[in-house]
Amino acid sequence: MHVDDALRHWSAWLLTARGRSRSTVGSYLRDMQQFVHLSGLAELSGLDRARVVDWLNALAEREMAPRSRARKLSALKSFVGWAMEYGHLAQDPVPAELATQRGLDLPHALTQGEVQAILDATRGLDPLSVRDSAMLETLYASGMRVSELTTLRLADLHLPEGFAIVTGKGSKQRLVPLGHYAIEGLKAYIGPVRESICPTAPLHPEVFLTRRGAISRSMVFRLVQKYALLAGVKSHVSPHTFRHSCASHMLEGGADLRLVQELLGHSSLTTTQIYTHIDKRRLREVYDRAHPHA
């Protein structure tokens, strides 16, 4: 069943069989439409644990109020319950850990080798490969949110200086450094390659384009999964995984937590502490090297 049909039947069921108010049904439906959009879900049969976990991680990273997050989780559980009751899903994709609505810890970052394998899988001379290579290099180098990547404009790039101006939540702007590989990838892509992909490229300010215009978040999601598959990376990978990996690898390399906070665009250092992780061995190594009485 196509997910749009499923959402239509589910929302009608909430109104009639469950007696929910139109206001509640409208909120639940918007939550699930957001889930569908961000996860790139097309067929109900594709609703699995990996998509659910990735969506919940994205909600956690957005610094969303616990009440709003709980409502979104409630909407998901209701939708899954309906789908299972009517035989549209054979297994519950919502992890058992969510019974208390506390959510899950964020996923483990990819290893540096796994990230490199995925980036290597994008290498090619055709225009789409050049675009995808530049896009994933930029995603990993900057730790951008996928929404920030898809709305990044040519005017936001300052390649000679090695940084980009990123517009994040609440229209707040921040400077984000770009590594050598991202800069070289962008230089190779911007110009004739970008214009060969989109005939109306001069009319579009966004950096990354498809034939019809700015690339969508769901397409970025699909492309990341495609290259992870080609690279033989078996764990679930999404644009959010690249963001998490960027932050984690910087911390492993000794970066200051507040620098990572600025890179990610978090308003609170607490969010950065939750979002990233430092393993105890690495923390001990940094402490022994940095503290005068270690």
d(CA 250, CA 44): 37
pLDDT at residue number 192: 95
108 noted as active-site residue: no
Residue 276 pLDDT > 60: no
Reading the block at residue 62, the tokens are 């957005």
Q: Catalytic residue among 145, 194, 244, 249, which? A: 145
Q: What does pLDDT average to over the chain?
A: 83
| Cα atoms in the 13 Å half-sphere on the side-chain side of 174 | 21
8 noted as active-site residue: no
d(CA 175, CA 211): 29
Name residue, tokens 């297994």: 91
Q: What is the pTM of this model?
A: 0.63
**What would the mean pLDDT of 19-46 be, rounded to a whole number?**
86
Residue 50 pLDDT > 70: yes
Give start and end residues of each alpha helix (H) in the chain.
3-16, 22-39, 49-61, 66-85, 112-121, 127-142, 146-151, 180-189, 192-197, 217-230, 239-252, 257-264, 269-275, 280-290
pLDDT at residue number 125: 92
Instruction: Assign domain 3-100 to its CATH architecture.
Output: Orthogonal Bundle (1.10)
d(CA 252, CA 54): 23
Q: Catalytic residue among 51, 240, 244, 249, which? A: 240
Residue 109 pLDDT > 80: no
The structural domains of the chain, with segments of one domain joined by +, span 3-100, 112-283
d(CA 238, CA 50): 10
Residue 131 pLDDT > 80: yes
Residue 100 pLDDT > 50: no
Domain 112-283 bears CATH identifier 1.10.101.10 = no
pLDDT at residue number 65: 62
Q: Catalytic residue among 18, 22, 49, 169, which? A: 169
Tens digit of each residue's pLDDT (9 = 90 or more) over 159-202:
999 999 998 877 788 989 998 999 999 999 999 999 999 999 99
Choose between 201 and 98: higher pLDDT: 201
Reading the block at residue 181, the tokens are 């590989």
Q: Which residues contact 210 (CB under 8 A, 6 or more apart)?
A: 197, 198, 216, 219
Which band of pLDDT confidence, cut at 50, 70 and 90, is reported for residue 99? very low
Which band of pLDDT confidence, cut at 50, 70 and 90, is reported for residue 133? very high
Lowest mean pLDDT among 43-47, 131-135, 190-194, 226-230: 43-47
User: In whole angstroms, how large is the CA radius of gyration of the chain?
Assistant: 21
77 noted as active-site residue: no
Q: Catalytic residue among 131, 217, 243, 249, which? A: 243
243 noted as active-site residue: yes
Residue 105 pLDDT > 60: no
Q: Catalytic residue among 275, 277, 284, 287, which? A: 275
Lowest mean pLDDT among 80-84, 93-97, 215-219: 93-97
